[in-house]
């Protein structure tokens, strides 16, 4: 069990692994939305109605798609890390609100909630030393 007490020296490596994995998955999740065009963006942006914002859904949808795609890349690299983490957190907050307000239930909203928690925690922690921003 002594080896477990030494794992703390690998915190920066663990942050890198987390950033690489989650960032890559966000790119995969966001790219189809980004490449979907205005029709896809309008549908996606309609989620903002769940928090009371009902104007220019195509703009909000484009912003969500670009946040997930480019934000995923920035998260992976640790570039503009805290602003990126916050924007990804907000995007997941809206996604969770949309699922919950449409009656989908907590299990359908769980993915967005879980990622929102990750992005909020990473906003607070920072990217670690193995990043473009260097924590």
Token output for 54: 């009902």
Non-local (6+) Cβ contacts of 111 within 8 A are none
CA atoms within 13 A on the CB side of 134: 0
| Positive or negative: CA dihedral 19, 30, 81, 49 | negative
- The pLDDT value recorded for residue 135 is 56
- Residue carrying structure tokens 């549908």: 43
- Residue extents of the structural domains in the chain: 11-125
What are the C-alpha distances in Å from 46 to residues 19, 57, 71, 123?
29, 5, 20, 26
- The pLDDT value recorded for residue 27 is 98
pTM of the model: 0.93
- The pLDDT value recorded for residue 33 is 97
- Residue carrying structure tokens 């920066």: 12
* N- to C-terminal Cα separation, the chain: 30
- The pLDDT value recorded for residue 134 is 76
Question: Tens place of pLDDT for every residue, the chain, 135 residues?
Answer: 666 677 788 999 999 999 999 999 999 999 999 999 999 999 999 999 999 999 999 999 999 999 999 999 999 999 999 999 999 999 999 999 999 999 999 999 999 999 999 999 999 999 999 999 875
């Amino acid at each position: 069990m002594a080896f477990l007490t030494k794992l703390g020296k690998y915190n920066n490596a663990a942050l890198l692994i987390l950033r690489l994995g989650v960032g890559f998955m966000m790119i995969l999740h966001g790219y189809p939305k980004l490449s979907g065009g205005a029709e896809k963006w309008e549908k996606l942006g309609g989620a903002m109605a769940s928090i009371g914002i009902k104007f220019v859904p195509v703009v909000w949808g484009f912003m969500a798609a670009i946040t997930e795609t480019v934000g995923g890349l920035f998260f992976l690299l640790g570039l503009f890390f805290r602003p990126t983490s916050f924007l990804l957190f907000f995007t997941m907050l809206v996604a969770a609100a949309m699922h919950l307000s449409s009656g989908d239930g907590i299990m359908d909203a769980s993915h967005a909630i879980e990622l929102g928690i990750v992005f909020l925690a990473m906003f607070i922690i920072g990217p670690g030393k193995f990043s473009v921003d260097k924590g």
